[in-house]
C-alpha cells in the first residue's frame, strides 16, 4: 500500500517537473523579451539617458516624469491617443458584433467568405495597407477627392493627411478597418458556441429576438467581449505604424500618439530616459484601463 502511494507521488513529481520543463522555453522567452525590457524601461526612466559612446546616464529621479506633464507635445499626443481609444474601441466592438450576428446564421460557405473578407486587412502587411490608403487619401490624385468632387460634395481638393482637421480621423478610419477582422472572427466563433437549448427554451417561452440576444447570447459571449475590449484598447493605445508611415505625427503634431512620440523621442532625439518615462506612463494607463474592463466584465458575469 505504502509502496503504491510512493509510486504515485513519484509519478506526480515527474509530471510536475515535465510540466515545468515544457513551460521553461516560454518562460525564458517571456523573462528575456518582456520582463527584462520592462524592468529596464522603468529603471532607465529615472535617468537622463542619451545616445553616445561616452555618454553617462545621470540619475534624475522623477525629473523625466515632471517634464512629461509640462511637455505640450506629449500632452497633445496623450489627448490624441485617448481620442483614438474612445472612438475606435466602442465602434470596433459594436461593428464586429453586428457583422458577426448578421453572418453567423448564413450558409457556412458565406459565413466563411465574409470572415475571410473582413480578416484580409489583418493578415495583409500594414505597410501595404497603408500605401493603398495613402493613395486613396492623396491630395492630388486620391480617389476620395475624385469621388467627392464628382458628386459635387467638395469643390476643391482636401489634403486629408495634410490638414490638421482631418488627419487624425483618417488615421482612425484605417485603424478601424484593420482592427475589426479579429473581433468578427472571435464573435462568430463565440456566437456559434452559444447553448442552443437555452435559446430554444427562451423562444418557446415567447422571448423576442432582441430579448434572446441580450438575455441569452450577450451573457454567453461576455468573456469574448471582454477579451476584444482589452485587446482593442491595447492596440489602439499602441497605434504607431500608421502614424509613422502616413503623417510622422503631423501636421503640427495633430496626429502624434504616445507610441509615436516615444519613438520620436528615443530614435530622433536620442532621449532614451525621457522616452522610457513615457512608456511607463502608457503602461500604467493601459494596465489601469484593462483592470477596470476586467472588473466590469466580472461584475456583468
**Footprint on this chain of another protein (rule: CB under 8 A):** 51-55, 137-141, 159-162, 164, 247-248, 250-253, 264, 267-270
Buried b (16+ CB within 10 A) or exposed e, 9-46: eeeeeeeeeeeeeeeeeeeeeeeeeeeeeeeebeebbb
**Minimum distance of another protein from residue 161's CB (angstroms):** 4
Instruction: Tell me the CB-side half-sphere exposure of residue 199, using CA atoms within 13 A.
Output: 14
**Would you say 178 or 247 has its CB closer to another protein?**
247
**Minimum distance of another protein from residue 37's CB (angstroms):** 13
**Minimum distance of another protein from residue 138's CB (angstroms):** 8
**Distance of alpha carbon 86 from alpha carbon 130, whole angstroms:** 22
Determine how β-strand 58-59 pairs with β-strand 47-48.
antiparallel
**Minimum distance of another protein from residue 51's CB (angstroms):** 6
**Would you say 266 or 280 has its CB closer to another protein?**
266
**Would you say 199 or 245 has its CB closer to another protein?**
245
End-to-end CA distance of the chain: 46
**Minimum distance of another protein from residue 30's CB (angstroms):** 20
**Would you say 52 or 61 has its CB closer to another protein?**
52
**Would you say 217 or 253 has its CB closer to another protein?**
253
Work out the burial of residue 161: count CB atoms within 10 Å of its CB; fewer than 13 is exposed, 13-18 middle, 19 or more buried. buried
**Minimum distance of another protein from residue 176's CB (angstroms):** 20
Spatial CA neighbour of 120 closest among 182, 171, 191, 202 = 182
CA angle 212, 209, 176 (to 5 degrees): 90
**Minimum distance of another protein from residue 34's CB (angstroms):** 18
- Measured CA distances, 286 to 86, 105, 124, 202, 231 (Å): 13, 35, 26, 39, 10
Spatial CA neighbour of 216 closest among 230, 225, 203, 232 = 203
**Would you say 79 or 165 has its CB closer to another protein?**
165
**Would you say 81 or 255 has its CB closer to another protein?**
255
Amino acid at each position: 500500500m505504502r509502496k503504491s502511494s510512493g509510486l504515485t507521488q513519484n509519478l506526480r513529481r515527474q509530471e510536475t517537473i515535465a510540466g515545468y520543463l515544457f513551460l521553461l522555453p516560454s518562460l525564458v522567452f517571456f523573462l528575456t523579451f518582456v520582463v527584462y525590457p520592462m524592468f529596464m524601461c522603468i529603471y532607465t526612466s529615472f535617468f537622463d539617458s542619451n545616445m553616445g559612446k561616452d555618454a553617462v546616464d545621470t540619475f534624475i529621479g522623477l525629473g523625466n516624469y515632471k517634464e512629461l506633464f509640462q511637455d505640450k507635445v506629449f500632452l497633445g499626443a496623450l489627448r490624441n491617443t485617448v481620442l483614438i481609444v474612445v472612438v475606435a474601441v466602442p465602434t470596433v466592438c459594436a461593428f464586429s458584433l453586428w457583422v458577426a450576428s448578421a453572418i453567423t446564421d448564413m450558409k457556412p460557405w458565406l459565413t466563411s467568405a465574409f470572415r475571410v473578407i473582413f480578416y484580409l486587412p489583418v493578415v495583409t502587411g500594414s505597410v501595404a495597407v497603408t500605401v493603398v490608403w495613402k493613395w486613396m487619401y492623396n491630395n492630388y490624385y486620391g480617389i476620395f477627392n475624385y469621388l467627392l468632387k464628382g458628386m459635387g460634395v467638395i469643390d476643391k481638393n482636401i489634403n486629408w493627411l495634410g490638414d490638421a482637421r482631418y488627419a487624425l480621423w483618417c488615421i482612425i478610419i484605417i485603424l478601424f478597418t484593420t482592427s475589426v477582422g479579429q473581433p468578427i472572427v472571435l464573435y462568430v466563433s463565440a456566437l456559434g458556441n452559444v447553448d442552443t437549448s437555452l435559446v430554444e427554451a427562451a423562444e418557446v417561452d415567447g422571448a423576442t429576438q432582441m430579448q434572446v440576444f441580450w438575455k441569452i447570447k450577450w451573457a454567453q459571449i461576455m468573456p469574448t467581449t471582454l477579451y476584444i475590449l482589452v485587446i482593442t484598447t491595447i492596440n489602439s493605445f499602441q497605434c504607431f505604424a500608421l502614424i509613422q508611415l502616413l503623417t510622422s505625427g503631423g501636421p503640427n503634431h495633430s496626429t502624434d500618439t504616445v507610441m509615436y512620440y516615444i519613438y520620436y523621442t528615443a530614435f530622433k532625439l536620442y532621449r532614451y530616459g525621457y522616452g522610457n518615462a513615457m512608456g511607463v506612463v502608457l503602461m500604467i494607463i493601459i494596465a489601469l484601463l484593462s483592470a477596470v474592463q476586467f472588473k466590469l466584465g466580472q461584475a456583468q458575469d
